[in-house]
Amino acid sequence: MPEKSKQLEYSIKSDSFRVRDMPAQLRPREEFERVGSENVSDAVLLALILRTGTKGTNVVEVSHRLLSAFGSLTALAKASINDLQSIDSIGPVKAQMIKAAMELAQRLTRESVGESPLVITPEQAAAVLRERARTLKTEVFWALMLDTKNRLIGEPQKISQGTLNSSLVHPRELFAKAVEFRCAAIILAHNHPSGDPTPSAEDIKITKQLVSAGKVMGIRVLDHIVIGHRKYQHSSDFLSLREAGLVQFSSIR
């Protein structure tokens, strides 16, 4: 039987035998050792994290069941403990293991950005926030506070949470925080949980108001980044209002 057909057959019947009964090349640990971590499937990595299955269902089948139920790693990372436990074979301990692994991945990404990264390009701004935004189910509006050399001052500041509108994001709250940090410039950012980073008319309207307020305060507003997901038909998972020419921002210098 061809190799792919074998794998398909074992995948379909995987709940009828234990991992030790699988062909050696299909067992998660053996496959990991044979081809390396970067070349195994998401299901294999998840199986290694979970370590064991349950009675009548081996860990490979449990992993496939999880990925099938949530559809993607991003959706899996967004899932709550209760969401995870709604899947057959996932109890409190396995749900915690999954959440811990996902949280470590997010912390690693944030750590790799650096404590005071230079933020000039839209990609650099998106990199600071990408992992924070990936698993959110509601809109969050942040401000990246920058010094005179365009380096990030402290952590990104969450200004508000909820659907973006003029009553939720008021210049008073934003620039009070900017003054507190004594920043020279700010970059605005928020996420679209739908995954589509296309800005709304309200996004553009609010941005223009905040740019104008920044000029009065003497604090440059350099850009507004909308973060989505790559699954939408865009060249990246974010959109820069500056690059799109939708708002006239202050000069970057």
Write down the domain spans for the chain: 3-109, 115-240
Query: Do 3-109 and 115-240 fold alike per CATH?
Result: no
- Residue 132 — pLDDT band, cuts 50, 70, 90? confident
Give the pLDDT mean for 63-72: 89
Q: What is the pLDDT of residue 219?
A: 97
**Which of 3.40.50.2000, 1.10.630.10, 2.20.25.90, 1.10.150.20 is the CATH number of 3-109?**
1.10.150.20
Q: What is the pLDDT of residue 95?
A: 92
Helices (H), the chain: 3-12, 28-35, 42-50, 59-70, 73-78, 81-85, 92-113, 122-134, 171-181, 201-217
Q: What is the pLDDT of residue 234?
A: 62
Q: What is the pLDDT of residue 19?
A: 61
Q: What is the mean pLDDT of the chain?
A: 84
Question: Which range has the worst mean pLDDT, 25-29, 131-135, 209-213?
Answer: 25-29
- Does residue 11 carry a pLDDT above 60? no
**Which of 3.20.20.80, 3.40.140.10, 3.40.50.150, 3.40.50.970 is the CATH number of 115-240?**
3.40.140.10
Tokens of 14: 């995987």
Over pLDDT 70: what percentage of the chain?
A: 83
Q: How far apart are the first and last CA of the chain?
A: 64
